[in-house]
Amino acid sequence: MAGQHPAAAHSGPAAPFWQVDRPGQGSRTLGRRDLACLRETRGMPRAVVASSGRCDHARPFARHSPRQPLLRKSVKTPQGLQALIDDGVIDEVLRPLKSGKEATVYMVRSGDVVRCAKVYKDMAQRSFQQRVQYQEGRKVRGSREARAIGRASKYGRKQQEAAWKNTEVDALYQLRAAGVRVPEPYSYVHGVLVMEMVTDADGHAAPRLGEVELTAEQAREYHRVLLRQVVRMLCCGLIHGDLSAYNVLVGPDGPVVIDFPQVVSASGNNAARRLLLRDVNNLTASLGRWAPDLLDTWYGEEMWALFEAGALQAETELTGNFEPDETAVDLDSVRQAINDAREEALIRQQGREAAAEADA
The residue at minimum Cβ distance from Mg ion is 259
State how far the Cα of 84 lies from the Cα of 108, in Å rounded to an integer: 11
Q: Show Cβ contacts of residue 43 under 8 Å, excluding neighbours closer than 6 positions.
A: none
Neighbours of 137 (CB within 10 A): 16
Position 264 contacts ligand ADP (CB under 6 A): no
Distances (CA, A) of 198 to 38, 129, 311, 324: 28, 29, 33, 39
30 binds, among Mg ion, ligand ADP, none (CB under 5 to 8 A by kind): none
Single out the residue of 259, 279, 301, 302 in contact with ligand ADP (rule: CB under 6 A): 259
Q: Please, which residue, 200 or 259, has the CB nearer to Mg ion? A: 259
CB of 269 to ligand ADP, least distance (A): 20
State how far the Cα of 171 lies from the Cα of 337, in Å rounded to an integer: 28
Q: Please, which residue, 109 or 273, has the CB nearer to ligand ADP? A: 109
Position 214 contacts ligand ADP (CB under 6 A): no
Position 170 contacts ligand ADP (CB under 6 A): no
Site string for Mg ion, 72-111 (x = CB under 5 A): ----------------------------x-----------
State how far the Cα of 153 lies from the Cα of 53, in Å rounded to an integer: 41
Q: Show Cβ contacts of residue 231 under 8 Å, excluding neighbours closer than 6 positions.
A: 303, 312, 314, 316, 318
**Dihedral of the CA atoms 62, 67, 72, 75 (nearest 10)?**
130
State how far the Cα of 224 lies from the Cα of 234, in Å rounded to an integer: 15
Position 101 contacts ligand ADP (CB under 6 A): yes
Position 168 contacts Mg ion (CB under 5 A): no
Q: Show Cβ contacts of residue 330 under 8 Å, excluding neighbours closer than 6 positions.
A: none
Single out the residue of 198, 212, 243, 280 in contact with ligand ADP (rule: CB under 6 A): 198
Q: Which of residues 224-253 bind ligand ADP (CB under 6 A)?
A: 247, 249
Position 257 contacts ligand ADP (CB under 6 A): no
Distances (CA, A) of 84 to 91, 117, 131, 196, 224: 8, 10, 28, 16, 38
Single out the residue of 58, 114, 172, 197 in contact with ligand ADP (rule: CB under 6 A): 197
Position 181 contacts ligand ADP (CB under 6 A): no
CB of 105 to Mg ion, least distance (A): 9
Q: Calculate the CA 340 to chain-centre distance.
A: 25
Single out the residue of 38, 97, 306, 337 in contact with ligand ADP (rule: CB under 6 A): 97
Site string for ligand ADP, 117-156 (x = CB under 6 A): -x--------------------------------------
Residue 110, helix vs strand vs coil: strand
Q: Which of residues 248-307 bind Mg ion (CB under 5 A)?
A: 259
Neighbours of 339 (CB within 10 A): 12
105 binds, among Mg ion, ligand ADP, none (CB under 5 to 8 A by kind): ligand ADP
Helix axes 154-177, 143-151, angle to 10 degrees: 120
The residue at minimum Cβ distance from ligand ADP is 100
Question: How many CA atoms, within 13 angstroms, populate the side-chain half-sphere of residue 210?
Answer: 20
**Where on the chain is the footprint of ligand ADP (CB under 6 A)?**
97-98, 100-103, 105, 116, 118, 183, 195-198, 205-206, 208, 247, 249, 258-259
**Where on the chain is the footprint of Mg ion (CB under 5 A)?**
100, 247, 259
